[in-house]
Amino acid sequence: MAGEVTRAEGVYQQLRADILGGRMVPGQRLKFPDLCERYTTSVGAAREALTRLTAEGLVKTKPHLGYTVTPLSHEDLADLTKARLEIESLVLRLSILEGDVQWEARAVAAHHLLERTPFTDPADPDRPADAWVSAHADFHLALIDGCGNRRLVATALGLREEAELYRQWSVSFGQETDRDLPAEHKAILEAALARDADLAAERLRDHIAHTAQLLISCAEDEPNRP
């Protein structure tokens, strides 16, 4: 039993990384024979991984079609952005109000790592590198991790992960000539450390909205770019 749980966890981590890393195409069907061959695993472990990813919003399931990587659309991204603007800014406010010095230290450390992680991999310069994606996620988690309401934190993180699909499939994210993405991250952190909840929330909302507007434009042009 323990071995099966370990295998399921491994498949989950690998498949999740492939989806968020852009190696699985939005809308792509996830067939058990293909998954079992790709990850050298059993149908049971693959099913467990797909169930978890469905709960996270990274995979969809439909009658007669089975499992697919979540498709991208302008309407879905607009709805997702509205939810993120409200929930993530609220959780950041609570994190600033409730976070202790250890929370501050985690946020500073996460930002330090993000600043020093290359944005792209020379082998795939059109998308953010896996290491940067991971550091970026860890930074935003660190910002809201001071909030004591774990349900709100989990909701905010789930919405961020769904948005990650759009970031991965935008050819322009992080490469706009009129945008300083590192400066935006630094500004949010500085406001949070200053315990200015209003300013930090405003900067986070602007950060989310700026990214979303770019991604919505991409979704309108290429909703399921292969």
Tens-digit pLDDT profile for residues 77-119: 889 999 999 999 999 999 999 999 999 999 999 999 999 999 8
Which residue from 214, 187, 215 is spatially nearest to 201, judged by alpha carbons?
187
Apex CA 26: angle with CA 23 and CA 29, to 5°?
Answer: 90
- C-alpha torsion 74→80→84→85, nearest 10: 50
Q: Give the count of beta carbons closer than 10 Å to the beta carbon of residue 189.
A: 22
Which residue from 86, 82, 71 is spatially nearest to 166, judged by alpha carbons?
71
pLDDT per residue as tens digits for the range 128-168: 788 898 999 999 999 999 999 999 999 999 899 888 887 77
Tell me the two tokens of residue 32: 């058990």
What pLDDT does residue 173 have? 55
Tell me the two tokens of residue 50: 């797909």
What pLDDT does residue 114 have? 97
More reliable by pLDDT, 62 or 97: 97
What pLDDT does residue 220 have? 52
- Under the banding of pLDDT at 50, 70 and 90, the label for residue 2 is very low
Task: Judge contact between 40 and 181, C-beta under 8 A.
Answer: no
Apex CA 209: angle with CA 143 and CA 59, to 5°?
Answer: 75
Tell me the two tokens of residue 104: 């501050």
What does the longest C-alpha to C-alpha distance in the chain come to? 53
Q: Write the DSSP symbol of residue 171.
A: S
The pairing of strands 124-128 and 66-69 is: unpaired
Burial 14-31 (b: 16+ CB within 10 A, else e): bbbeebbbbebbbebebe
pLDDT per residue as tens digits for the range 176-205: 667 789 999 999 999 999 999 999 999 999
What pLDDT does residue 3 have? 53
What is the pTM (predicted TM-score) of this model?
0.77
pLDDT at residue 219 above 90? no
